[in-house]
Amino acid sequence: MQGKHTSVWVLLAGLTLGCGPSDVAPAPLCGKAPARCRVLSLANLFDRVIQHSARMRAISEDLHWEFERHHAPSGNSIGRVSRNCHTSNFLTPNGKETAQRMAHEELTRVILKLLAAWRDPLWHFHQITANHSSDQALDMVQELGKGVQKVAEKMQTLGLLSNSVGEASWMEDLLGRENGEWRLMKEHELLYCFRRDSDKIQNYLKILKCRIVPEHSC
Amino acid sequence: MFQLLISSAMVSLPSSSLLPLLLMSSSAWLLSPASAFDSDRHQLKPSGPVEPHFTKCISRDQTTFSCWWSPGSFHNLSDPGMLKVYYQKHLFIPPSSSPSKTEWNECPQYFHSRRECFFDKNHTVIWTPYCLQLLSRDNITYFNTDDCFTVENIVRPDPPVSLNWTCLNVSPSGLNFDVLVMWKPPPSADVSMGWMNIVYEVQYRERNSSNWEALEVQLEPQTQQTIYGLDLDKEYEVHIRCRMKAFTKFGDFSETIFIKMSEIPAKDSFSLLTLVIVLAIVAAAILIMWIVVSQQQRLMVILLPPVPAPKIKGVDPELLKKGKLDELNFILGNGDLIGGPMYSPDFYQDEPWVEFIEVDVKDSDTGEKEDLQALDTERLLSGSQPARHRAGCSNFPSFPDCERAYNLNVPNEDASATLTCMLPGQTNDRLSSHSINSERGERLPVSSQSSAPQTWVNTDFYAQVSNVMPFGSVVLSPGQQLRTQDCAPASNDDVKEAKKYSKENNKQKDPQLQLQMLEPDTGSRTQQMIPPSYCFVPPECYQPNEPQAAAEAFQSPYVSPDSPQTQCFSPVADYTVVQDSQRGVLLDPPSLQSASSCLSQHPLKVVPTTGYVTPDLQGVLSP
């Protein structure tokens, strides 16, 4: 069931994200000069994905704040995190330089894993709360997953990735993360972790973009 | 609960009013070691002995951070070294699902003078909870679980640098102005790579005021902002602070810059100069337009000089184009157009500079044969001067009868049944004038026709041109006389014949050349002596042909009026001299010693005596 969903989503991603965010004009723009065109489209893809991640970060902040406000926590929220985030055992870089030293494909894989790991918990959370923010969060995670998938494919065609982090990785992570650790977490912990992971994803994407698509500002 | 209220108040109120609240809460915060690292929540606890605690932990670049502590009310611990800082990171090591904590490590770098513990980048990890505690010499730990934080949550960026401002514009009333404030992001923040996403808040106030006006915090990072509606005569000060976009903690304020608008005299002069220039341009434009309008005619002539073209007054210029000789000959033969603008559509009404060729045939009532004949001959023999109007008459300016002789009213509007009544002398005149004018090669002979029935004057219709003088004059031999007869509506064909002219350029070689005639029915070219019968004159012998015959006759310019109605012919010239020319053939009119025999059985051969033969048709006529 989820495999079918994924294939459909990936197909849609190929149709929408591949064409839309990459170029201003449709495919004929890339007809004549593929090399020049690909570089441009990758930068645009990155920009779009980073915008998405910023949006997701804002939604996660809203979710967390809403929950904290309504459920009257006392004390520091960190102190109340008694459980590990289900994504904490991922070997994610915890600093700027650590992330910069990481290989392209590894960083991309980390991003994809993070995004894949949050699909089910957010879906579950949406079933519980069923408010607009949770619905948005779920959509954002899925869209961002497709976007990063597209970026990864583009990078692969450009030869920037040594091994494949394409669709197979996405599927694998989706199927592999069925450990259900997230079910043990409380809602406030989930939201706290989601906020943290959104921040991670945004920063990782920015670092990746600066390394892949060098700009004057990097 | 109380802290929740305060925190909600923190978030909802604008930042300007947050400041006093923050001050109050910070003071309260000092009382209790409640953690203020992670959020702006503060607790108000009852006063009591304040144990050593951390006052703040701040990261400026999300790569390093520092924590400051205070001994609290335990002043004996205020000496440096009395308290030690230990930290612990909550690392999550798989496969354990519980956060595993590392050991307590001591602060990597102390700044005892400031009571600061600095964590450099090697000791800083993001997205990882830190917990700090103070340890006294007595091994008493002062630890609060609220003192745990993650680095990204304690980021307060440095203030922006390089502030300056420019004046955007001044209101039309001259009382207010807008200012654009620009700055640069703090150098410690890695904004270029995007590691830190910083938004700014601009605050301004009047110089002596105490309240700061805060503009809305930006939604997206921008390094400039506009302040609207400042008073021109007041001085303002501006400072800016910033924070991470995803977080709530602002950094310190930047330095204050002052905004003061000085006098602006240059603007008035600038506007005055602009006004003068604009007026000068407008005046110049008006002058040019006036010149153009007043000198329109001359400008038109200068810019669009008239193109000379064959134009005959009263004749549609379309007909003068090549290939439309039939219509032209019809018109010329019928004479329904010639004679005056009053009776014919004037095609050149709007072209006054066009030189017209006007040939008017005077009324048959006027003049006598001899007079006319002599008149014509003399005219032919005299010199010629160009005139603007009446080309045919222009050659003979000395003759006052010119106008009269060449004036012919053509009230006829019916093209099909046109009356034709020509006097031989007039024909001669036309011919001679044409022959003279042919050297100029400019003007077409145009025959005028009379529409009203006129009595034939006993004059020669044609005169044989014996010789053409070098200077263009034509020597005529006396022609024959015709019977005076009443003009009746002649056939169109005959009219057409009579009205045909040809141009003559070369000298007349042989006065008696054979004419080549075209028979309309056979279309063959036969050379024969043109019978002397000339059927123009006696109109009573002719009965009007049907228009269809006339139409048929129009097909070729050399139509012989094969009208069965014709019964007798008046004597016409013996022959017609054909003068070969480059531009056409001049057919001299035949002499008028023809026998007045009715040649009914004969189809009247076309005597294209006075017809214009185009060069392509000239081949037909070549002897």
Instruction: Give the pLDDT of residue B596.
Output: 42
- Strands B464-468, B83-91: pairing is unpaired
Instruction: Give the pLDDT of residue B32.
Output: 32
Report in angstroms the alpha-carbon separations of B114 from A24, A129, B68: 55, 48, 7
Angstrom distance (rounded) from CA B139 to CA B53:
15
**Residue B73: pLDDT over 60:** yes
Instruction: Give the pLDDT of residue B64.
Output: 92
Helices (H), B188-315: 265-294, 296-303
* Cβ-Cβ contacts under 8 Å for A1 (sequence gap 6 or more): none
Instruction: Give the pLDDT of residue B146.
Output: 73
Q: Which residues of A touch B4 (CB under 8 A)?
A: 69, 72
* Cβ-Cβ contacts under 8 Å for B393 (sequence gap 6 or more): B358, B359, B360, B387, B402, B403, B405, B406, B433
- Test A184 with B97 for CB contact under 8 angstroms: yes
CA distance A12 to chain B (A): 30
Instruction: Give the pLDDT of residue B218.
Output: 86
Lowest mean pLDDT among A179-188, B465-474, B491-500: B491-500
B61: enclosing H helix or E strand: none
B477 vs B346, higher pLDDT: B477
Over residues A67-82, mean pLDDT: 64
Instruction: Give the pLDDT of residue B174.
Output: 82
Instruction: Give the pLDDT of residue A80.
Output: 58
Residue B357 tokens read as 């060729």
- Top mean-pLDDT range of B27-36, B234-243, B523-532, B565-574: B234-243
For residues B392 and B433, the answer to whether their CB atoms sit within 8 Å is: yes
Rounded to the nearest integer, the mean pLDDT of chain B is 65
Residue B534 tokens read as 């000339």
Lowest mean pLDDT among B139-148, B288-297, B304-313, B474-483: B474-483
A179 vs B281, higher pLDDT: B281
Three-state SS string over B291-316 comes to HHHHCHHHHHHHHCCCCCCCCCCCCC
**Residue B286: pLDDT over 90:** yes
Chain A, chain B: beta-carbon pairs less than 8 Å apart: 95
Q: Which residues of A touch B92 (CB under 8 A)?
A: 84-85, 88-89
Over residues B501-528, mean pLDDT: 44
List the end-to-end C-alpha distance of chain B, in Å, as a whole number. Answer: 131
**Residue B587: pLDDT over 50:** yes
Angstrom distance (rounded) from CA A50 to CA A57:
10
Phi and psi at residue B363, in whole multiples of 5°?
-65, 145
Angstrom distance (rounded) from CA B591 to CA B572:
6
Reported as a single tens digit per residue, the pLDDT across A110-126 is 888 888 888 888 888 88
B317: left (phi over 0), alpha (psi -120 to 50) or beta: alpha
Chain A contacts to B (CB-CB under 8 A): 50, 54, 57-58, 61, 65, 69, 72, 74-79, 81-85, 88-89, 92, 94-97, 181, 184, 196, 199-200, 202-203, 206-207, 209-210, 217-218
C-alpha B150: how far from chain center: 67
Which of B128, B145, B147 lies closest to A94 in CB terms?
Answer: B128
Instruction: Give the pLDDT of residue B278.
Output: 94
User: Long-range CB contacts (< 8 A, 24+ apart) of B267-271?
Assistant: B267/B170
**Residue B159: pLDDT over 90:** yes
Q: Which residue has the tokens 């009852």?
A: B46
| Residue B334 DSSP symbol | H
**Residue B142: pLDDT over 90:** no
Instruction: Give the pLDDT of residue A2.
Output: 58
Three-state SS string over B497-539 comes to HHCCCCCCCCCCCCCCCCEEEECCCCCCEEEECCCCECCCCCH
For residues B25 and B138, the answer to whether their CB atoms sit within 8 Å is: no
pLDDT band at B400 (very low <50, low <70, confident <90, very high): very low
B274 vs A79, higher pLDDT: B274
CA distance B172 to chain A (A): 41
C-alpha B280: how far from chain center: 26
B33 vs A30, higher pLDDT: A30
| Residue B99 DSSP symbol | P
Reported as a single tens digit per residue, the pLDDT across B166-221 is 998 888 888 888 999 999 999 998 888 888 889 999 999 998 888 998 998 888 88
- Test B35 with A82 for CB contact under 8 angstroms: no
Phi and psi at residue B67, in whole multiples of 5°?
-130, 140
Report in angstroms the alpha-carbon separations of B623 from B515, B581, B583: 7, 12, 16
Over residues B514-522, mean pLDDT: 43
Angstrom distance (rounded) from CA A63 to CA A71:
12
For residues B425 and B389, the answer to whether their CB atoms sit within 8 Å is: no
For residues B138 and B225, the answer to whether their CB atoms sit within 8 Å is: no
B441: left (phi over 0), alpha (psi -120 to 50) or beta: left
**Residue B143: pLDDT over 60:** yes
**Count of H-run helices and E-run strands, chain B:** 12, 22
pLDDT band at B238 (very low <50, low <70, confident <90, very high): very high
Angstrom distance (rounded) from CA B425 to CA B422:
8
Instruction: Give the pLDDT of residue A204.
Output: 92
B436 vs B357, higher pLDDT: B357
Instruction: Give the pLDDT of residue B160.
Output: 93
Report in angstroms the alpha-carbon separations of B91 from A74, B85, B88, B102: 23, 19, 9, 7
Kindly give the interhelix angle for A104-117 and A132-157, rounded to the nearest 10 degrees. 150
CA distance A70 to chain B (A): 10
B68 vs A25, higher pLDDT: B68
- Top mean-pLDDT range of B21-25, B117-121, B420-424: B117-121
Amino acid at B557: P
* Cβ-Cβ contacts under 8 Å for B254 (sequence gap 6 or more): B159, B160, B161, B163, B183, B239, B240, B241
Instruction: Give the pLDDT of residue B429.
Output: 47
- Top mean-pLDDT range of A84-93, B1-10, B122-131: B122-131
Kindly give the interhelix angle for B15-31 and B2-12, rounded to the nearest 10 degrees. 150
Instruction: Give the pLDDT of residue B165.
Output: 92
B103 vs B156, higher pLDDT: B156
Instruction: Give the pLDDT of residue B241.
Output: 92
Residue A92 tokens read as 């994610």
Over residues B366-389, mean pLDDT: 53
pLDDT band at B588 (very low <50, low <70, confident <90, very high): low
pLDDT band at B461 (very low <50, low <70, confident <90, very high): low
C-alpha A154: how far from chain center: 16
